[in-house]
Amino acid sequence: MSDGTALAGPDGALRCPWALSAPEYVTYHDEEWGRPVHGDDALFERLSLEAFQSGLSWITILRRRPGFRAAFADFKIASVAAFTDEDRERLLADAGIIRNRAKIDATLANARALTEWSPGELDELIWSHAPEPAGRPVPKTLSDVPPVTPESTALSKALKKRGLRFVGPTTAYALMQACGLVDDHLETCVARRGA
């Protein structure tokens, strides 16, 4: 039983405890989570996947990520924005993704809203909410990692104001963690930047 501190993985390296529950998690944790992500399409993918994850475990999304990418045209904003009613019905029948009508509709609506933004504007908006790293304590245990922060609340409000859906403060914080706006790897974790 973990006390929320970093645990040794199969290779002996210390990692955040959540990363050790499945092989896919180890790879995602070590190579992707907390690493800076830039580019409107890449951020649209992460934002969409975090919205689909709402109420589910991340492993469910991670295991279906290839299916999501195939179903949503690799999350190219312009392509998804052009999806038709037939595409929506195809998505609702696609067993390779999460077939949640509200989340599918939000993803399509978000893509359409983002086509009205200037190139790079999503990247700029999201990254403008990154907190100053020096002001953040380094988490020692999982209980030191908040589910929501003032920055994620502000990001959520900014995204909603610009017409995006399924972007509450908790989803916004998960996005910030996944895309490297914050480094919530535990203090002794092998994947912590500068560790």
* Number of Cβ atoms within 10 Å of the Cβ of 147: 9
> Quick check: is 188 in a domain?
no
> Quick check: is 194 in a domain?
no
Range of the domain at 62: 40-179
Q: pLDDT, tens digit, for every residue of 81-131?
A: 999 999 999 999 999 999 999 999 999 999 999 999 999 999 999 999 999
Number of domains in the chain: 1
Q: Following CA atoms 64, 1, 170, 45 in sequence, which dihedral angle do they give, to the nearest 10 degrees?
A: -20
> Quick check: is 163 in a domain?
yes
29 labeled part of a ligand binding site: yes
Nearest to 106, CA basis, from 151, 65, 61, 54: 54
Q: In whole angstroms, what is the distance from residue 114 CA to residue 185 CA?
A: 31
> Quick check: is 7 in a domain?
no
> Quick check: is 64 in a domain?
yes
How high is the pLDDT of residue 159?
98
179 labeled part of a ligand binding site: no
Beta bridge partners of 15: 7
> Quick check: is 4 in a domain?
no
Q: In whole angstroms, what is the distance from residue 175 CA to residue 54 CA?
A: 12
> Quick check: is 32 in a domain?
no
Q: In whole angstroms, what is the distance from residue 86 CA to residue 90 CA?
A: 6
Q: pLDDT, tens digit, for every residue of 26-71?
A: 999 999 999 999 999 999 999 999 999 999 999 999 999 999 999 9
Residue 159 C-alpha from the chain's centroid: 14
CATH assignment at residue 129: 1.10.340.30
44 contacts 114 by C-beta, under 8 angstroms: yes
> Quick check: is 19 in a domain?
no
Q: Record the tokens describing residue 4, joined without a space.
A: 């929320």
> Residues with catalytic annotation?
28, 50, 58
